[in-house]
Structure 1
Amino acid sequence: MTTLSSRWRKPSVIPGFGLTLGLTLMWLSLIVLIPLSGLVLKAATLGFSGFFDTIFTARVLASLKLSFGLSLIAAAINLVLGLLIAWVLVRYEFPLRRILSAMVDIPFALPTAVAGIALTSLYAPNGPLGFLFGLIGLKIAFTPLGILVALIFIGLPFVVRTVEPVLADIDQATEEAAACLGATRFATFRRIILPAILPALLTGFALAFARAVGEYGSVIFIAGNLPMVSEIAPLLIVIKLEEFEYEQATAIAVAMLLASLALLFLINVLQAWGRKRQGTG
């Protein structure tokens, strides 16, 4: 008779289900659960009224709106740009293709402070790109638009590297068969390619969004950090810590955590729907 525990197990070359599960739970507790629990408990010392009084101030709401709003916009832009870049890298052979592929990974390896300084020097009013944009009356550095540029920069590789292997696994013979049956390019993409890559697209979107929400180093240099204008929530947390307002800092952090979990849960629901649709379609 099959026991309940045996149904959980899958054939593996590494024995010891209990040992590996125990180590997994231990490390997850040490790295994730215990720190987050401490964060929540510290914020709980404010009480419900103190917590909501901290969160619903104009400055905190403005910083949260800026961080989450620009993170969603940046992730959406990266969704399109990442798919385009992944398509070019997978479907075409051209000179310097490997160099272009390596350039995609630069935001992964580049320290965030270095990225922030580089973007600021480029998009500042006296920088080469900032000067050109200034000729048409567009200021990027030290504005929310500069924050958006930084978030796009650090989030793009997540979409590209998530979609690229899935796109490479698609059998192009299916696309050719659709073309032979009279399907247009758009119809082929919508009915064959998009359903196959949709879960990967949503995963890349979620990763890019999660990275953007918590980004600090590359943003503070180009943001300008003006309260109510270009002050991001992570910076406000740091300011509260420097002012020894630890409870208020943790309250803002918990609000960011709850909002991030809610959005990531929604994205996971969409991922599950995409996989189900792909499996049943």
Structure 2
Amino acid sequence: MAKKKWKKHSILPGFGLSLGFTTLYVSLLVLLPLAMIFVNTASMSWADFRATVTEPRVVASYQLSFGAAFAAACINVIFGVLIAWVLVRYSFPGKRVIDGLVDLPFALPTAVAGIALTTLYAETGWIGQFLSFKVAFTPIGITIALTFIGLPFVVRMVQPVLQNFDQEMEEASAILGANRFQTFIKVIVPEILPAALTGFALAFARALGEYGSVVFIAGNMPMKTEITPLLIMTKLEQYDYAGATAIAAVMLVISFFLLLFINGLQWWTNRKFAHS
């Protein structure tokens, strides 16, 4: 009976084979490489590990990497939702061009993006020369670079939700007496919030590991504009593999718990608005 019941509730044919292949694929491409980080780190003593990951220069890089990634993800949520709204709700000349340009950070080599941003925002650059404050080789420049590479994640997550949104709900809200702001907050935001949170998580995760576009505009000054991925690369170049994996392990653990929190928040949001 149990066997028949299991077959009855199986949605896809060959579920056992598919599950086995999925587990093997994820293990080989994700779990095993990540596990090697902790295996290499285990070769260090606890005292050496603690000294490596709590060095002031390393701690400063943590603060910069996580702070800049979080700031860039927040900026991308605001402007990503705005861009998605414009692309879905309005028709104007050049709309397809702008829609295609959104994906440009995906296709553009990160090193090219870093060089282009540095050229623009340097003190003698096309934009930097008109600014009263310094952008290139500062945390501001790093945040701009991370914002650039993370924008498509938010736009492409929110855009399909807006396209499938039933505008009759907006009309019903207006008929019931709600103004545009109330309609946006009470009707539209609950629909796009889960997608926006997903885009935030993807942009944040992408920014944490970014190297190519940041290393040029950062200036790489220790304790000031040095990001954690650069420190890891520096230790690898010095053949300090244990030290590199120790820093990478800390980044991995912190990133995992932050993304777990964001995913939990997204699950809570979905559940809350689904029952409201």
Q: How many residues align?
A: 276
Equivalent residue for 2:249?
Answer: 254
Aligned to 1:214: 209
* Offset of residue 8 of structure 1: 9.9
Letter aligned with residue 231 of structure 1: E
1:19 CA displacement: 1.5
Residue of structure 2 in register with 1:76 after alignment: 74
- Residue 229 (1) aligns with residue 224 (2): yes
What residue is the counterpart of 1:92 in the other structure?
Answer: 90
Distance 1:117 1:199, change over 3 A: same
Match of 1:51 among 49, 56, 59: 49
Taking the TM superposition and a 5 Å limit, the aligned residue runs for 1:187-198 are 187-198=182-193
Structure 1 match to 2:135 = 140
TM superposition shift of 1:106: 0.3
Residue in 2 that maps onto 1:6: 6
The one-character-per-residue Cα deviations of 1:235-273 (angstroms, maximum 9, x if unpaired) are 000001111111110000000001100110110111001
Distance 2:117 2:217 in 1: 7
Quickly say closer, same or farther: Cα 1:86–1:52, change in 2 above 3 A: same
2:110 match: 112
Cα RMSD after superposing both structures: 1.5
Mark the runs of 5 or more structure 1 residues left unpaired by the alignment. none
Identity of counterpart residues, as a percentage? 56
Deviation at 1:6, TM superposition (A): 2.1
Q: Does 1:203 align with 2:198?
A: yes
Relative to structure 1, is the Cα distance of residues 53 and 74 closer, same or farther in structure 2, using a 3 angstrom cutoff?
same
TM-aligned CA deviation for residue 155 of structure 1: 0.3
TM-score by length of 1: 0.95
- 1:92-140 deviations in Å (ceiling 9; x for gaps): 111111101001000010010111111111111111111111xx2x111
AA of the residue aligned to 2:126: P
CA distance, structure 1, for counterparts of residue 190 and residue 93 of structure 2: 31
Matched, 1:21 2:19: yes
Residues 120 and 222 of structure 1 are in contact (CA less than 8 Å); yes or no, is this contact kept in structure 2? yes
Quote how far apart the aligned CAs of 1:184 are: 1.5
The residue identity in structure 2 corresponding to 1:11 is I
Q: Is 2:165 the partner of 1:170? A: yes
Q: Structure 2: state its 5+ residue gaps.
A: none
- Mapped partners of 2:35, 2:8: distance in 1: 28
SS at match of 1:128: coil
User: In the TM superposition, what is the alpha-carbon distance from 1:10 to its structure 2 partner?
Assistant: 3.9
